[in-house]
């Protein structure tokens, strides 16, 4: 096994993806929200790229069972049931429901991996569970940080670095980019919440009033759920 | 001033490039070769994307004054005068000559920055000179590692991190990606040649018999030349 890190996500042709397990990471906040929703009994999350697509999808479904979630500019979209804060996705709200989700960075990453055999959903909240699943799948792990507006997102790279650090200790070889992510994780591991608060994305969310989301998203290993993306849908398998 | 790092190079629309100075870095070996060639009296380097384009360009020029240089798969191209080893670009060979250069990673980065106002050529050999030029230009520095086959190249990111470390000490603010590059530089700075020898790209070059090129390319601050890319041509201004 050999683990890698894609510093920016990009289209992954099915041929190149064979024998690989991709871990999409959007700590602030899409993948943390997906992990939380499915842990709380949501039946499936459908990631879509645009707000229009989200409204189209919900029209096709039985209204009561489907919720619209996501953000633009960090804020809940007009007409949506939920924003992109994991704290909104409580058991009371999401249990037994399908969720159509569209966010600025995270849901785009899933689109680029459509058709790949193994795509997992990771965040700080389920680091250990994701690593165990990667090892069980015996495929080469590739961390895919969702990025911030197509650019670098420190918190996602550091989260991937935390997973890669454990994988390396389990005997998995690391590509250069994966080694670099590990070094970044080790440089921040003593205070991950502070790393997030001081990141570009973290500062934006604090300014929008979402500081509590940062605390939520920076919890490590509080969930054993490993959401899986397959055929356009994210479920707990 | 605010400095950034592009972990992968991409097309930079002129509008977004305003007020920025890009530093293209392909330590192994294109930018080190360009710095060496111009330091040794070469009059200009024309970076082109393909081998065909290189042959076309040379046909249009006065044969004696123009040399063809570059590599595919690390090796000199059939019919070319020079490969991509900076050690070939001695004063005796290149003084007074134009060079048409095509390489796998480095020359593509220049194409993507065509039309940008300020594009410099950097490597470990001219770190201090590049940083001084960035500061003199009073534009926001953006490090552009050339990458390895479109992916991550550790040695380029670490070289950019070395420049960013000095910029930060000069009072320049760093974006998250730039901070990350600085952390990576600091983690390797005690033995940069070992970092390069152990990198994916370095190992490939050693296998091809170019270990001496690594030693050459990892020398720091041996040149005060800052090549500038403008209108398709690289010169010392």
A95-112 pLDDT per residue, tens: 999 999 999 988 888 988
B177 close to A151: Cβ distance less than 8 angstroms: yes
Q: Which residues in chain B are closer than 8 Å to A20, comparing Cβ atoms? A: none
pLDDT at A28: 96
CB contacts, 8 Å: B7 with chain A: 7-8, 152
User: Are residues A8 and B8, on separate chains, in Cβ contact within 8 Å?
Assistant: yes
pLDDT of residue B9: 64
B155/A143 Cα distance (integer angstroms): 20
Say if the Cβ atoms of B199 and A176 lie within 8 Å: yes
- pLDDT of amino acid B128: 98
Among B88, B110, B87, B98, residue whose Cα is nearest residue B9: B110
Q: Is the pLDDT of residue A223 over 70?
A: yes
CA proximity to A29, closest of A234, A181, A214, A173? A214
Q: Do B70 and B77 contact (CB within 8 A), yes or no?
A: yes
Q: A176 and B187 in contact by Cβ < 8 A?
A: no
pLDDT beneath 50: ranges in chain B: none
| The CATH classification of domain B2-223, taken from the options 3.40.630.30, 3.90.1560.10, 3.10.450.50, 3.40.50.720 | 3.90.1560.10
Q: What is the CA radius of gyration of chain B?
A: 16
CB atoms within 10 A of CB B135: 17
Q: Is A173 in the B-facing interface, judged by CB distances under 8 Å?
A: no
Chain B CB contacts of A144 below 8 Å: none
Is B5 in contact with A152 (Cβ distance < 8 A)? yes
The pLDDT, as a whole number, for residue A160 is 98
| Helices A127-137 and A154-169: angle between axes, nearest 10 degrees | 50
**pLDDT value, residue B10:** 66
Q: How confident is the model at residue A16 (pLDDT cuts 50, 70, 90)?
A: confident
What is the residue-averaged pLDDT of chain A? 94
B24-47 burial code (b ≥16 CB/10 A, e <16): bbbbbbbbbbbbbbbbbbbbbbbb
Test B183 with A187 for CB contact under 8 angstroms: yes
Which pLDDT value is given to residue A10? Answer: 66
Paired with B9 in beta bridges are none
User: What was the pLDDT predicted at B149?
Assistant: 79
Q: How many angstroms separate the CA of residue B152 from the nearest CA in chain A?
A: 6
Q: Chain B interface, mutation test: which of A157, A180, A187, A196, most B Cβ atoms within 10 Å?
A: A180
Domain ranges of chain B: 2-223
Geometric angle at alpha carbon A23, from A180 and A95, rounded to 5° = 140
What CATH architecture applies to the domain A2-224? Alpha-Beta Complex (3.90)
pLDDT at A9: 64
Q: Is A152 on the interface with B (CB under 8 A)?
A: yes
Residue with the bigger pLDDT between A201 and B59: it is A201
pLDDT value of residue A147: 83
CA distance A7 to chain B (A): 7
Contact check, Cβ <8 Å, B7/A7: yes
Q: Which pLDDT value is given to residue B63?
A: 63
pLDDT tens column, A59-81: 887 766 999 999 999 999 999 99
pTM equals 0.94
Taking 80 as the threshold, does the pLDDT of residue A193 lie above it? yes
> What does the angle CA A178 – CA B165 – CA A198 come to, to the nearest 5 degrees?
70
Q: Per residue in A103-138, pLDDT tens?
A: 998 888 898 898 899 999 999 999 999 999 999 999
What integer pLDDT is reported at residue A63 of this predicted model?
Answer: 63
Contact B25, B160 (CB under 8 A): yes
Calculate what percentage of chain A has a pLDDT beyond 70.
96
């Amino acid at each position: 096994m050999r683990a890698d890190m894609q510093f920016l996500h990009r289209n992954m042709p099915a041929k190149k993806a064979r024998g690989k397990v991709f871990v999409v990471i959007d700590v602030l906040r899409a993948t943390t929200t997906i992990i939380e929703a499915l842990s709380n009994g949501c039946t499936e999350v459908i990631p879509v790229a645009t707000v229009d697509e989200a409204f189209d999808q919900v029209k096709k479904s039985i209204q009561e069972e489907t919720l619209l979630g996501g953000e633009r500019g960090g804020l809940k979209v007009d007409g949506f049931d939920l924003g992109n804060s994991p704290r909104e996705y409580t058991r009371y709200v999401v249990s037994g429901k399908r969720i159509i989700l569209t966010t600025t960075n995270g849901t785009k990453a899933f689109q680029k991996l459509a058709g790949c055999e193994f795509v997992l959903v990771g965040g700080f909240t389920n680091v250990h569970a994701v690593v165990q699943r990667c090892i069980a799948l015996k495929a080469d792990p590739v961390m895919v940080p969702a990025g911030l507006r197509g650019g670098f997102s420190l918190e996602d790279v550091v989260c991937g670095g935390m997973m890669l650090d454990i994988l390396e200790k389990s005997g998995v070889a690391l590509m250069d980019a994966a080694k670099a992510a590990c070094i970044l994780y080790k440089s921040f591991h003593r205070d991950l919440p502070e790393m997030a608060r001081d990141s570009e994305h973290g500062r934006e969310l604090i300014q929008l009033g979402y500081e509590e989301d940062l605390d939520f998203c920076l919890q490590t290993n509080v969930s054993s759920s490993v959401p899986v993306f397959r055929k356009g849908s994210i479920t707990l398998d």
